[in-house]
Amino acid sequence: MPYSQDELATMNSIIERYPRSRSAIMPLLHFVQSRAGYVTNEGIETIAKLLTIETAEVSAVATFYTQYKRKPVGEYHVGVCTNTLCAVMGGDAIFSALKDHLGVENDGVTADGKVSLEHIECNAACDYAPVVMANWEFYDNQTVESAKSLVDAARAGNPPAPTRGPNKLVTWKEASAVLAGINDGLANEGVQAGEPSLLGLKLSKNGGAK
Partner 1 sequence: MTKLTPVLSAHWDEKDSFTIQAYKRHGGYKASEKALAMDPDAVIQLIKDSGLRGRGGAGFPTGMKWGFIPQGDDKDHYLVVNADESEPGTCKDMPLLMANPHVLVEGCIIASHAIRAKRAFIYIRGEVTHVVRRLNQAIEDAYKAGHLGNGFDLVLHVGAGAYICGEETALLDSLEGFRGQPRLRPPFPAIAGLYARPTVVNNVESIASVPAIIANGAEWYQSMGTEKSKGATLYSLSGHVKNPGQFEAPLGITLREILELAGGVRSGHKLKFWTPGGSSTPIFTDAHLDTPLDYEGVSAAGSMLGTKALQIFDETTCVVRAVLRWTEFYKHESCGKCTPCREGTWWLVQILRDLEDGRGTEADLEKLLDLCDNIMGRSFCALGDGATSPITSSIKHFRDEYIAHLTNGGCPFDSAKSTLFEGANA
For the segment 47-106, give every residue that binds partner 1 (CB under 8 A).
Answer: 51, 60-61, 64-68, 79, 82-85, 87-90, 92-93, 97
- Give the residue, chosen from 123, 154, 155, 159, that forms a contact with partner 1 under the rule CB under 8 A: 123
Tell me the angle at which helices 5-15 and 25-36 cross, rounded to the nearest 10 degrees: 150
Query: Which CB sits closer to partner 1, 12 or 66?
Result: 66
Minimum distance from residue 185 beta carbon to partner 1 (Å):
9
- Give the residue, chosen from 70, 145, 149, 158, that forms a contact with partner 1 under the rule CB under 8 A: 145
Sequence-ordered strand ranges (E) for 112-187: 115-120, 132-134, 137-139
Query: Residue 105: what residue type?
Result: E
Query: Which CB sits closer to partner 1, 126 or 153?
Result: 126
Query: Which CB sits closer to partner 1, 23 or 108?
Result: 23
Minimum distance from residue 55 beta carbon to partner 1 (Å):
14
Minimum distance from residue 102 beta carbon to partner 1 (Å):
16
Minimum distance from residue 23 beta carbon to partner 1 (Å):
5
What string of DSSP letters covers 62-118? HTTSTTS-SS---SEEEEEE-SHHHIIIIIHHHHHHHHHHHT--TT-B-TTSSEEEE
Q: Which of residues 157-176 bind partner 1 (CB under 8 A)?
A: 162, 164-166, 170, 175
Instruction: Give residues with Cβ within 8 angstroms of 57, minimum separation 6.
Output: 48
Other C-beta atoms closer than 10 Å to the C-beta of 40 total 17
CA dihedral 56, 60, 66, 69 (to 10 degrees): 0
- Give the residue, chosen from 41, 100, 168, 193, that forms a contact with partner 1 under the rule CB under 8 A: 193
